[in-house]
Structures are given as structure tokens and as C-alpha cells.
Amino acid sequence: MDKHNPFQIAIDGPVAAGKGTISRLVADKLNILYVDTGAMYRAVALLGIRNKIDLKDEEKLIPLVKKAKIIIKNPTKDKKDGRLATTLLNGEDVSWAIRTEEVSQGASKIAAHPKIRQILVKKQQEIAQNTNVIMEGRDITHKVLPNADLKIFLTANGIVRAKRRHFELLTRGVDVSYEEVLEELKKRDERDSCRSADPLKKIPDAWLIDTSDLSIKEVVNLIVSKARVLMEEKP
């Protein structure tokens, strides 16, 4: 493959469908960059929180976002601490700082702002211009990388996703009930699918993978097999 014609895998899907874990493992097997676009929205939420800006105030946030230097990297060997990716915000490693529940909820508010999404989409597209990537989020297949070599919509039923999200939070020491997680997931799904700025949707040419009854390994192997065929065919 020509470095000026990089291989792109674009993955969309709802929260807790397994996009992050699966993308990280696929990236390792294919030796490509994993880009968690959600981390960028979380980084902006963290910026807003630290600067005491109302996360619903898009105009006050825009100057911060324009100046912010957000870098997503594959973790180095000394950073194998459970993170799926390393996120740098203005040179600071915020990989774990952006994983709090406060930031997570804030990121959903940030994602509803059309102008901020436009800025971040441009940053995401610049990353994928010269690097082989697997990029996941909510609007990657139709907005960020519309010409990706492989487009996937990864999903699972709500109960399975709520259980995964609950387990993830408990392992991080967050004291929350399954019922609370399920309710928040329903609200998140509604915000993602109803927002005016790039709502979550499956486009016709995206490969639908329902992970409800599949193991992580099975999903990873499916994607890797398909990607390797396409990589061989790519000029």
C-alpha cells in the first residue's frame, strides 16, 4: 500500500458495543493506528470542566478547541496499564483523566455541538490522511471517513451493552447500580440518534456486526480476515 493511499477501517456503533476493545485488538493484529474519536470529545469535555465553562456553551468552548493539541497514539510498552489508547492533551497524558463518569457524560454534551464536531472531524481526517488506521466513533463511516476501505456498524442489544458498561465501571471502582447504567445508556442512545449534528446511524454499505452472542475473539477474527483480503487487493 502507498503511504499516500492509506488503508482505513471505519467503525460506528452505540456505546458499549465493544468498539474500543475490538478496535484495539484489530489494530495490534494489523499493525495499524487505533484512533478512538470519542477520546477527542472527552478531551474537550475535560478542557471545559477544567476551565469552568458550561459544556452547553459551544461559543465559549470553540476557542479552546481550536487551540487544543489532541494526539491519539497506540500505547507504548511502558504504558500497558489497561488503556486502549494514549490520549495527549496539549502535551499532557490524559488517558485516564478523560475516563471519569463526569467527563463521559460531558463528552456526550460536547458531541451535540455542530461547530465543535466540525473542528474535531477535520483533526480526525488529518490523522487518517497518511496513516493506516482503524477509527471508531459515532459518525466515522458517513462523515469522517466516507471513503474508508472497510466500513462497519458494530452493535449489541441494550441489555448486553448495559451489562458490559456496568462491569467496566465496577472494575474502575465506580459505585453504580446496573439499573442506573441501563437508564443512562438509554438516554445516551437517544441523544446519539436524535442529535442534529451527525446522528448515529448505519449507512447502507456498512457491514453490520451484532456482538451480542459473539466473543471478542470471534469479532476480531472476522474483521481481521476481511481487512487482510482488502489490504492485499488495495493498490
pLDDT in tens, 14-25: 989 999 999 999
C-alpha distance from residue 48 to each of 62, 96, 97, 100, 104 (Å): 10, 16, 13, 14, 13
* pLDDT tens digits, 39-79: 999 999 999 999 999 999 999 999 999 999 999 998 887 77
- Report if residue 2 sits inside a domain: no
In a domain? residue 36? yes
CATH of the domain at 210: 3.40.50.300
Confidence of residue 191 (pLDDT cuts 50, 70, 90): confident
Q: What length does the chain have? A: 235
Residue 197 lies in a domain: yes
Residue pair 91/69 in contact (Cβ under 8 Å)? The answer is yes
From residue 197, give the alpha-carbon distance in Å to each of 9, 34, 110, 172: 22, 24, 11, 31
Name the residue range of residue 206's domain.
8-233
Indicate whether 54 belongs to any domain. yes
Count structural domains, the chain: 1
> Residue 231 — pLDDT band, cuts 50, 70, 90?
very high
Asked whether residue 49 is assigned to any structural domain, the reply reads: yes
Q: With pLDDT > 90 as the criterion, what percentage of the chain qualifies?
A: 76
62 in Cβ contact with 119 (< 8 Å): yes
Give a yes or no: residue 1 inside a domain: no
* C-alpha dihedral sign at 108, 117, 16, 90: negative
In a domain, 118, yes or no: yes
Residue 78, domain member (yes or no): yes
pLDDT band (50, 70, 90) for residue 169? confident
Phi and psi dihedrals of 162, rounded to 5? -65, -40
